[in-house]
Amino acid sequence: MVSQRGLEVLRAIVQDYVSSREPVGSKAIVDRHQFGVSAATIRNDMALLEEEELIVAPHTSSGRVPTDKGYRLFVDHLAEVRHISSAQKQAIDHFLDESVDFDELLGRTVRLLSQLTNQVAIVQYPSLGVTRVRHIELVSLGNKRALCIVITDNGRVEQRLLDLDADLSETQLSQLRTTINEQVAGKLLTELADSVGSIAARVPTELSSATHHIALALSESIQANRQQKLVMAGTANLVRTEEDFQGSIYPVLDAIEEQVILLKLLTEMKADADEVAVSIGREHSSSGLEQTSLLATGYTSAGESATLGLLGPTRMDYSNNIASIRAVARYLTRVLDAQ
């Protein structure tokens, strides 16, 4: 059983180690923190923490560093609840509000979160379950080609290049555009391809082939988007903290590139918008990521939930990272609700 002072010693070890990357000894704790006891007493507390497998000596006669179990106790009970500054709030608000479409918004989100935390930021696209069509635009490109643009109720923009059997005049494109929008506006994105396909029998013969091409392209687009997608930023931050990884960092980079591993972990963590879930080290025994921590929280888009995440070494500033990911997720949801 760890005493209250022992827990405070653990807090000091985690904070000092995260700050310095150097193992923490009893003398350093006495010098930096106001415990009001001798170094010998702190050494006794550290011995008890070591017995509980909360800290470990990386080298003989060295200071101590937290274990995965120690980080877990710190995150669950000892981490200070922080709030981001007013300047950071304004920066988040301004940066995300400048996005022109859904894809850019998610790209800006991960870049911003990566800059705030110096970790790898990850955002998951929401599924298509309740996303509805706002408008479809058709643009002639000449040479029997056209661009089909689908705009959804959450600001998402999908573009698909069409190869047609013949060039359509502006009048024909306008007629086809009007007919399609009359039928599909407000419908679920998952119903889009079938809805467009059923229009073919009701348009003039010279437009039926183009309608079939549009329906096929939309079907392919919907199918592609059924696969869960991730957007990431800040991978270079891992290289800057390479000293935090024993052996080679390449297994971590390979695991990140293999997005299915991250998708599996984020799904298993089941984060929602009211909390930040944290998986530390060997708690997620996925190949290549055992020396990392993964933070995840939820955001919503048009009523559909998805996940925002952070990945970095287990030696990370958990308090700051938890505050940052929570704040960015809330701003992301607010921006999407306003669209």
pLDDT above 80 for 271: no
pLDDT (average), residues 82-109: 87
Asked if residue 329 and residue 233 are part of one domain, the reply reads yes
Burial 261-297 (b: 16+ CB within 10 A, else e): bbbebbeebebebeebbbbbbebbebebbbbbbbbbb
Asked if residue 297 and residue 148 are part of one domain, the reply reads no
Amino acid 323: pLDDT: 94
Final residue of a structural domain among 168, 191, 226: 226
Asked if residue 206 and residue 90 are part of one domain, the reply reads no
Read off the pTM. Answer: 0.79
Amino acid 115: pLDDT: 95
Asked if residue 15 and residue 101 are part of one domain, the reply reads no
**CATH code at position 204:** 3.30.390.10
Asked if residue 110 and residue 234 are part of one domain, the reply reads yes
pLDDT (average), residues 105-130: 90
Asked if residue 165 and residue 72 are part of one domain, the reply reads no
Q: Which domain holds residue 98?
A: 86-127+228-338
Asked if residue 118 and residue 245 are part of one domain, the reply reads yes
Asked if residue 292 and residue 270 are part of one domain, the reply reads yes
Total domains in the chain come to 3
Amino acid 128: pLDDT: 65
**Cβ pair 235, 253 in contact under 8 A:** yes
Most confident region among 47-56, 120-129, 174-183, 206-215 by mean pLDDT: 47-56
Asked if residue 24 and residue 13 are part of one domain, the reply reads yes
**CATH code at position 25:** 1.10.10.10
Residue located via tokens 């607010």: 334
Cα–chain center distance at 60: 39
Asked if residue 234 and residue 216 are part of one domain, the reply reads no
Asked if residue 284 and residue 161 are part of one domain, the reply reads no
Asked if residue 235 and residue 333 are part of one domain, the reply reads yes
Separation CA 27–CA 113 (nearest Å): 36
- CB contact set of 250 (below 8 Å; sequence gap of 6+): none
Amino acid 339: pLDDT: 66
State which H helix or E strand residue 311 sits in: strand 304-313
